[in-house]
A and B are shown apart, each in its own frame.
Chain A
Amino acid sequence: MRKFSIDKENKGLEPSEEQIRRYKDFSRLHHDYERLTKRGKKPVYQDPKLYMLIVLIGIILLIILLEE
């Protein structure tokens, strides 16, 4: 929750140029963006369902080949 109060000491709320410079970094932004949007996919062997599906397809293909 946000509440207002009056700045009686007149501190002012403008950030300094130094403060702005500290956070302005496009390469970091680009890196964070890549990290968030292009996360590496799980390898097949770490995904049990996909792994089982591939094994199952392999077995079916093997059975078909042997039948022929």
Chain B
Amino acid sequence: MTDSEIVALAKERQDYFGELYERYFDQIFRFVFKRLGGLESEAGDITQHTFIKAMANLNKYEDRGLPFSSWLYRIAQNEVNMYFRNSKGNYTVEIDESKFKDLCEEAEINYMSADQQEQLINLLNKLEQEQLDLLELRFFQGMSFKEIADIYNITEPNAKMRVYRILEKLNKKWSDEK
């Protein structure tokens, strides 16, 4: 059965939502887990909330040809952001060094020493949260522009343009810093 068929059935009978849960729990949990930098129980709670919200709002969901998972990612993204907003402390999200190098390459920032890496991370941390979200999805979650576009409900070229504008901005700040 396709996602659209299951969604149609789940709108009539909640039991069918279980099938969607089975299909997408793992990837949503991974997404949230990575976004939270490995906070396991928080990731479990946020994933659960994501599915509760999806279940409660399923009747409002319209199939516009986008994957059902992009709708779930959007809810999860909002839930994680809400968690960050409501948390009083600062959360450190660890990122893979190789992925960080990919970001540097795309931003046309040459390979650097450990100190310079720290400097660049500081610059990164000063970006707006929405800009950080986009970079995170692209480089640290390894999503394609198509997937990002589906989550934000924008076109693929638009997603690409937004990411590259942020990289340009980062590059400019980096040049000014040096």
Which residues of A are at the interface with B, using a C-beta cutoff of 8 A?
A: 1-8, 10-15, 19-20, 22-24, 26, 28-30, 32-33, 36-37
Q: Using Cβ atoms and an 8 Å threshold, which residues of chain A touch B18?
A: 26, 30
**Which label, helix, strand, loop or mixed, suits the secondary structure of the A interface?**
mixed
Q: Using Cβ atoms and an 8 Å threshold, which residues of chain B touch A32?
A: 48, 52
Q: Using Cβ atoms and an 8 Å threshold, which residues of chain A touch B124?
A: 4
Q: Using Cβ atoms and an 8 Å threshold, which residues of chain A touch B84?
A: 1-2
Q: Is the CB of B96 within 8 A of A7?
A: yes
Q: Which of B21-46 contact A (CB under 8 A)?
A: 21-22, 25-26, 29-30, 33-34, 37-38, 40, 43-44
Q: Using Cβ atoms and an 8 Å threshold, which residues of chain B touch A4?
A: 92-95, 121, 124-125, 132
A13-B37, A15-B29 known; A1 vs B48 contact (CB < 8 Å): no
Q: Using Cβ atoms and an 8 Å threshold, which residues of chain B touch A2?
A: 84, 90-93, 129, 132
Q: Is the CB of B29 within 8 A of A11?
A: no
Q: How far is the CA of A20 from the CA of B52 in the complex (A)?
A: 17
**B47: CB under 8 A from chain A?**
yes
What's the minimum C-beta distance from B61 to chain A, rounded to whole angstroms? Answer: 16
**B56: CB under 8 A from chain A?**
yes
Since A7-B95, A36-B56 are in contact, a sample of 7 more A-B pairs with Cβ atoms closer than 8 Å, ordered by chain A residue number, is: A3-B90, A4-B93, A12-B96, A14-B30, A23-B48, A24-B25, A26-B18
What's the minimum C-beta distance from A7 to chain B, rounded to whole angstroms? Answer: 4
Question: What are 16 inter-chain pairs, A to B, with CB distance below 8 A?
Answer: A1-B91, A2-B91, A2-B132, A4-B124, A6-B95, A6-B97, A13-B34, A14-B33, A15-B33, A20-B30, A24-B26, A29-B51, A29-B52, A29-B55, A30-B18, A37-B56
A3-B93, A4-B124, A29-B48 known; A15 vs B56 contact (CB < 8 Å): no
Q: Using Cβ atoms and an 8 Å threshold, which residues of chain B touch A13?
A: 33-34, 37-38, 94, 96
What's the minimum C-beta distance from B42 to chain A, rounded to whole angstroms? Answer: 11
Q: Which of B117-140 contact A (CB under 8 A)?
A: 117, 121, 124-125, 129, 132
Residue of chain A at shortest CB distance from B46: A23
Residue of chain B at shortest CB distance from A15: B33
What's the minimum C-beta distance from A9 to chain B, rounded to whole angstroms? Answer: 9
